[in-house]
Amino acid sequence: MHLNYSKDQATNDYYLFLSMAKALGTTDFVSIKTCGNWSSPDYFFANRDKGLYKQSIMKLDSRWQQVIKQNWMIVTLLIKDSDKAK
């Protein structure tokens, strides 16, 4: 059994791809050098604040606890509703 996907569980990916999309959106690919820079992920990561990703990873534990709590509340409500239907 697999858990449903939740954006709350993937905060580090969200910040990673959001910042990458913003950086790509402001880049003019007018030269071979500019294109070459983006051909390697090292170029993107070398210019990023390392603390942002560390903070995102450190928040995962509390985010997971929040998701579990919310899912537990949903399960509890479903059980109550099924008991009422009987």
Decide if pLDDT at 26 tops 80: yes
Mean pLDDT, residues 46-54 taken together: 76
> Using CA atoms, how far apart are residues 37 and 44, in angstroms rounded to an integer?
8
* 67: in domain: yes
* 58: in domain: yes
Average pLDDT, the chain: 74
The residue type at 78: L
* 17: in domain: yes
* 68: in domain: yes
Q: Please give the tally of structural domains in the chain.
A: 1
* 37: in domain: yes
What count of residues does the chain have?
86
User: Band of the pLDDT at 1, cuts 50, 70, 90?
Assistant: very low
pTM: 0.38
User: Band of the pLDDT at 75, cuts 50, 70, 90?
Assistant: confident
Decide if pLDDT at 63 tops 60: yes
Dihedral pair phi/psi, residue 11, rounded to 5°: -65, -35
Nearest to 21 by CA among 10, 30, 13: 13
> Using CA atoms, how far apart are residues 78 and 43, in angstroms rounded to an integer?
49
- The boundaries of the domain holding residue 21 are 7-85
